[in-house]
Amino acid sequence: MSFMEKLNQAWTKNNSLVCVGLDPDLNKLPESVRNEPKPIFAFNKAIIDATHDLVCCYKPQNAYYVGFGAEDELAMTIDYVNKTYPEVPVILDSKRGDIGSTAELYAREAFVRYQADAITVNPYMGTDNLKPFLDYADKGVVILCRTSNPSSAELQELVSGDKQIYQHVAEYAQTRWNYNRNVLLVIGATFPEELGNIRKQCPSLPFLVPGVGAQGGDVEKVLENGQTPDGKGLIINSSRGIIYASKGADFAAAARQATIELRDLINKYRRGA
């Protein structure tokens, strides 16, 4: 099953647009898992077991694993989802961007080594750096477009021709880069008007939307501007707000409750939910 097929099924089966970001900072893990042989995996497994029926995706951020020398625990995490909850897709958040054989190996890392269903990529170097990822037709390629960080405007709002840079990225994503119908865009929740503009440019592309919760994105405005006519089209990510909902031994139960609350808030503004 392709990433897009899995995503559509998860949207429907779990009635959810929520993506849980698995960003396990080793220094913030609850005491109850710190002494485990593989503490990051133990933490992730508990979160996954508690939330798998409430989400449309999981999104492990690569830096939280390589920064602690825990690549094996990243592999274990993705393998656990693939084997235990295969209906839930996994997006590897690596934001890769390079050309030639280097990009080919980054694609191999994500899709062959880690068996992720999708990966985030940086389009700054153009088609050369995207093609090795896009050629995996059954995998999702999530292209940075209008990101949620404050300084994103320094480049993304620059005008070239009659459009801002992020609008050019959206146009290429809709046309030139989407030859395998496996392209998604990253659009920050902190820019709801731009989200709406990009939805008009790209009426059917799924959007990965970070920035709700800790970064202050407004869920109602995200849904108003970003959902597709069928009430789908969005992967709304929350990381810290869910995985650190409690610092105690009840962290998994607290993560489940936080996921339910976010799912229900989103569904309040969804068409047909």
Which residues are catalytically annotated?
Answer: 95
Phi, psi (5° rounding) for residue 159?
Answer: -95, 130
Beta strands in the chain (DSSP E): 18-22, 57-60, 91-96, 118-121, 140-146, 159-160, 163-164, 183-187, 207-209, 234-238
**Helix pair angle (192-201, 165-174), 10° resolution:** 40
Query: What's the angle, vertex CA 17, arms to CA 213 and CA 240, rounded to 5?
Result: 30
Query: What's the angle, vertex CA 101, arms to CA 99 and CA 107, rounded to 5?
Result: 80
**Helix pair angle (251-268, 219-226), 10° resolution:** 50
Question: For residue 49, what are its two tokens?
Answer: 């077991």
